Amino acid sequence: MVTRATVKADFMAGLTGAVVVLPQGVAFAMIAGLPPVYGLYTAMVPAIVAGLFGSSRHLISGPTTAISIVVFAAVSKFAEPGSAQFVQLALTLTFLAGVYQLALGLARMGALVNFISHSVVVGFTAGAAVLIATSQLKHYFGMHIPSGESFIHTWRDLIAQLPETNPYVAGIATLTLVILIVLMKLKPRWPVMLIGMVLGSLAAAFAGGESEGIRLVGKLPSDLPPLSMPDLHLAAVKQLGSAALAVAMLGLVEAVSIARSVASKSGQRINGNQEFIGQGLANAVGSFFSSYASSGSFTRSGLNYTAGAVTPLSAVFAAVSLALIVLLVAPLAAHLPIAAMAAVLLVVAYRLIDFHHIKTIISTSKRETAVLATTFFATLFVELEFAIYVGVMLSLIIYLMRTAQPRVADIVPDPNTQQRNFVIDKKLPECPQLKVIRIDGSIYFGAVDHVGERLHSFAEANPAQKHLLVVGTGVNFIDLAGAELLAAEARRRRAQGGDLYLAKVKPEACETLRRGGFRDLIGAYNIFPGKASAIANIFQRLDHAICARCDKRIFGECAQVRPILPGAAAPAAPEFGALPRVERLLVASDDSEYTAGAIHEALRIAKKSGARVRVIHMIPRTDNELTAGTEEIPEALLARARAHLNDVEREAIAAGVTCDTEVIYTSLRLYQEIVNQADQMKADLIVMGRRGRRGLARVRLGQATAKVIGHAHCAVLIVPRNAEITGQRLVLATDGSVYADAATAMAGSLAKIFAAPVSALSVTLPSQSDRRHEEARVAANRAAAFLRSHELDAEAVVYHGRPDEVIVETTMAKKADLIVIGSHGRTGLDRVMLGSVSERVIDATSTAVLVAKIS
């Protein structure tokens, strides 16, 4: 906000800066190969435009050493330095650089400056301050050292010429320096810099001025910047296009680095995009006012801040003051001793060094210290712009190394806190079945190797911890490689009888998992909003036989399991009776492709179990045939049926299975005939086909499927088209009822036949009572214990959600190829949990479903 006080402060800062830029502008123009006056012109119009359109309140733009050197190197290839052609090409180079900078700003590429870390800025600023101080020592002591020498050569010459110090020059500089230091301590609000230079000028005049070897600024031209026109012909643009891009990037890096350096002291927030726009407009507009390429000036920006500037008006006042000085008081400014200016610049250089942050960086981080030191020494010993690039590259490398190795910490509940908050404490015990970790970093392609190695090391260190919970509070994002890593870890742990779970994962990461289909691979039921809900659910899936003998009692849920004292016998397996025999199979078939799968799977079961198979092909009588009393099957239908059954017999012979076939011409409804035939042969299992998903009422046999399940006295196996039962895994749905017990026994028989592992699954709705959740846990553990008593590989899992959806999702997640579920009643699929659920499961899955029955 502009007030009378800020205007006064900005005016004094601008006036001080205008005086300082006089000798700098002349020197920089000469470095660029241009007439000296062009350095002053460049400190006028570009400074105003950049100040008004940039984002920094303290950045002063104008001629700089690095830019001047690049301009000379680029243009001197095509024209004689100092010539009119050289000047015009320099203005063309400036215009093109401004266009590049403006385009980058409008394209919102200002985020590029975010790669310049604070340590780079601090190191670069300190190095530049040392360079500024070094360059002024020759003026401080009155030595004659060529400009443009390297840092080492400059110090070599300084030491060599120390005996030749001019005492008058050194005295003027020291007097000015002392005045500045005293006034800054006693009267910090005064225009200290300006007072110091005025008093230094008076002292120089009193000491004899140039007669005693005290060099003065000298006579300055008294002209305003004239209008100019860059050469925009295609030939010139082609000549300077690539060099202009280099000037543009160097200018942006310098300007933004300086702006951020000063902002770190003032507390201002820099908008990189706006700064790009400000610098671009400054160069593009300045090229029409006899100004060559400009950028942020370390010296004048630091002086501007130190002198008390508050708003960008200080840049306007600096430019206007410079113009007035050039027009009105150039003769007076000519008496300003360079030694006094050297003292001012030494103070500016000292105050540019951020000693506080240097100390903080050194004491806090070795990596950041390396960045700071590298940038600092690169600034001293290599090209200024390259020093920034070195610091930025080192920052990026260290950042990538840090993000590529996120901390993967073991966390355990703290029993000393009421909420059992998770902490990192190696002394606290872990759950013997569940490993809990927290990943503090994003899981992306650069980090997957490190995270994968850590996960593998956890599995190797404790194979009994088959379940893994990953707390994702520190994971900002997950890319494709990270999602694939998590899915692979989930598959690996399921193959070992465990699972992978995620808790407190951020929405962005969850969305990546969802879009890529990885949420389904991991299991939506395995992703929890908080650690408490995760532990509550995962605990139901642990082996409670192990929990009963565990003395750790890590979680609050552990109190749900009655402990078994050392030496006590394990609880006996629940009484389900013997596993039912599967010796007689009835396959209800037609000649469609939808029953071919049922026949194939029936023969597969018979081959493994030694069962007999009977395949019936039913042809219903029509109403006309019933009225006429027709007893014989129409020849066309009979021939077709026999051909189909002959194919079945050949397939059975090839499989080594005993198979009977029969064509049945029936007046009963199809489901009635199937049930009657099953009762007559005392079938242990009815096998029927189905048309893919959602097909119970789509084909002739499909219409009868639901009623067969409801009226049959034995188990019914529904085989969708293309389904195969290979014994990879069975999912047993149980709710603890007698109907679920029948399903458990039947699952045991099929698991024995296929040597398949079983997941005993119990599902509850989240809204149900704690008692119901406990019943579900008991049911799953009871079923798993029974199956294990028959030397089967069985696990108990309890999930929350809609039962049919959870059953189907679990089947997919565990890559099971058979679902075993219970049902009862004689009116179709009944309305209890395992009744209506059965119907929805059969309708939703492409996996074979066995519905167990109680006679």
pLDDT tens by residue, 187-232: 876 767 767 778 888 888 788 777 777 877 666 666 788 889 998 8
Return the pLDDT at 825.
Answer: 33
Q: What are the φ/ψ torsions at residue 501 (nearest 5 degrees)?
A: -130, 150
For residue 76 the two structure tokens come to: 């001197």
- Tell me how far apart the alpha carbons of residues 652 and 646 are, in angstroms, rounded to a whole number: 10
List, as one string, the DSSP characters of 781-837.
Answer: HHHHHHHHHTT--EEEEEEES-HHHHHHHHHHHTT-SEEEEE---SSSS-SSHHHHH
Can you give 18-67 as a three-state secondary structure string? HHHHHHHHHHHHHHCCCCCHHHHHHCCHHHHHHHHHCCCCCCCEECCHHH
DSSP designation for 216: B
Is residue 571 pLDDT above 60, yes or no? no
Which long-range CB contacts under 8 A does 324-332 form with residues at least 24 apart? 325/18, 325/19, 325/22, 325/220, 326/40, 326/220, 326/221, 326/222, 326/223, 326/224, 327/222, 327/224, 328/222, 330/219, 330/220, 330/221, 330/222, 331/219
The alpha carbon dihedral of 148, 151, 156, 162 has a sign of positive
- Tell me how far apart the alpha carbons of residues 528 and 357 are, in angstroms, rounded to a whole number: 42
CB 644 within 8 A of CB 689: no
DSSP designation for 1: -
Is residue 826 pLDDT above 50, yes or no? no
Bridging pattern class, strands 612-620 and 659-666: parallel
Q: What are the φ/ψ torsions at residue 631 (nearest 5 degrees)?
A: -105, -25
Amino acid at 853: K
Mean pLDDT lowest among 110-124, 407-421, 442-456: 110-124
- Tell me how far apart the alpha carbons of residues 433 and 756 are, in angstroms, rounded to a whole number: 23
Bridging pattern class, strands 412-413 and 422-423: antiparallel
Instruction: Tally the residues of the chain.
Output: 855
The CATH number given to 407-560 is 3.30.750.24
The alpha carbon dihedral of 806, 579, 772, 559 has a sign of negative
Per-residue pLDDT tens for 827-845? 333 333 344 677 788 888 8
Sorting pLDDT into bands at 50, 70 and 90, what band is 447? very high
For 618, the 3-state DSSP assignment is strand
Return the pLDDT at 221.
Answer: 64
Is residue 367 pLDDT above 70, yes or no? yes
Sorting pLDDT into bands at 50, 70 and 90, what band is 700? very low
Sorting pLDDT into bands at 50, 70 and 90, what band is 92? very high
**Mean pLDDT across the chain, nearest whole number?**
83
For residue 42 the two structure tokens come to: 């460049």
- Tell me how far apart the alpha carbons of residues 224 and 289 are, in angstroms, rounded to a whole number: 9
CB 711 within 8 A of CB 717: no
Using a cut of 0.75, tell me whether the model's pTM lies above it.
no
- Tell me how far apart the alpha carbons of residues 417 and 433 are, in angstroms, rounded to a whole number: 22
DSSP designation for 102: H
- Tell me how far apart the alpha carbons of residues 674 and 689 are, in angstroms, rounded to a whole number: 13
Return the pLDDT at 112.
Answer: 66
For residue 65 the two structure tokens come to: 């050493």
For 308, the 3-state DSSP assignment is coil
Mean pLDDT over 775-798 rounds to 88
Start-to-end C-alpha separation, the chain: 89
Second CATH level (architecture) for the domain 582-723: 3-Layer(aba) Sandwich (3.40)
Return the pLDDT at 485.
Answer: 94
Is residue 518 pLDDT above 70, yes or no? yes
Q: What are the φ/ψ torsions at residue 416 (nearest 5 degrees)?
A: -85, -5
Is residue 758 pLDDT above 80, yes or no? yes
- Tell me how far apart the alpha carbons of residues 484 and 7 are, in angstroms, rounded to a whole number: 60
Bridging pattern class, strands 612-620 and 715-720: unpaired
Per-residue pLDDT tens for 665-681? 888 888 889 999 999 99
- Tell me how far apart the alpha carbons of residues 393 and 139 are, in angstroms, rounded to a whole number: 36
Is residue 605 pLDDT above 90, yes or no? yes
For residue 235 the two structure tokens come to: 């030939």
Q: Does residue 808 come out as left (phi exceeding 0), alpha (psi in the -120 to 50 range) or beta?
A: alpha
Return the pLDDT at 821.
Answer: 92
Nearest to 838 by CA among 763, 756, 754: 763
Mean pLDDT lowest among 335-344, 378-387, 549-558, 731-740: 378-387
Residue whose tokens read 């927290």: 438
Angle (CA) 835-837-840 rounded to 5° is: 120
* Rg (alpha carbons) of the chain, rounded to whole number: 43
Return the pLDDT at 102.
Answer: 94
For residue 400 the two structure tokens come to: 């990538």
Which residues make up the CATH 3.40.50.620 domain(s) of the chain? 582-723, 725-855
List, as one string, the DSSP characters of 434-475.
Answer: EEEEEEES-B-TTTHHHHHHHHHHHHHH-TT--EEEEE-TT-
Tell me how far CA of residue 434 lies from CA of 482, 483, 497, in angstroms. 22, 21, 12
DSSP designation for 573: P
- The CATH number corresponding to 725-855 among 3.40.50.620, 3.50.50.60, 3.30.70.20, 3.30.70.330 equals 3.40.50.620
Is residue 408 pLDDT above 50, yes or no? yes
- Tell me how far apart the alpha carbons of residues 436 and 456 are, in angstroms, rounded to a whole number: 14
Return the pLDDT at 817.
Answer: 94
Q: What are the φ/ψ torsions at residue 289 (nearest 5 degrees)?
A: -125, 40
Per-residue pLDDT tens for 237-278? 888 888 888 788 778 877 887 888 788 777 788 787 888 999
Mean pLDDT over 476-481 rounds to 92
DSSP designation for 566: T
- Tell me how far apart the alpha carbons of residues 538 and 535 are, in angstroms, rounded to a whole number: 5
Is residue 686 pLDDT above 80, yes or no? yes
For 620, the 3-state DSSP assignment is strand
Which residues make up the CATH 3.30.750.24 domain(s) of the chain? 407-560
Return the pLDDT at 828.
Answer: 33
Residue whose tokens read 């000693």: 355
Comparing 441 with 531, which gets the higher pLDDT? 441
CB 97 within 8 A of CB 244: yes
- Tell me how far apart the alpha carbons of residues 161 and 145 are, in angstroms, rounded to a whole number: 9
Mean pLDDT over 8-14 rounds to 85
For 795, the 3-state DSSP assignment is strand
DSSP lists the bridge partners of residue 471 as: 438, 503
Residue whose tokens read 């009393």: 629
- Tell me how far apart the alpha carbons of residues 92 and 237 are, in angstroms, rounded to a whole number: 8
Return the pLDDT at 97.
Answer: 93
Return the pLDDT at 631.
Answer: 59
E-assigned strand segments in 386-536: 407-410, 412-413, 422-423, 434-440, 467-471, 499-503, 527-528
Return the pLDDT at 330.
Answer: 59
Is residue 625 pLDDT above 60, yes or no? no
Q: What are the φ/ψ torsions at residue 757 (nearest 5 degrees)?
A: -75, 155
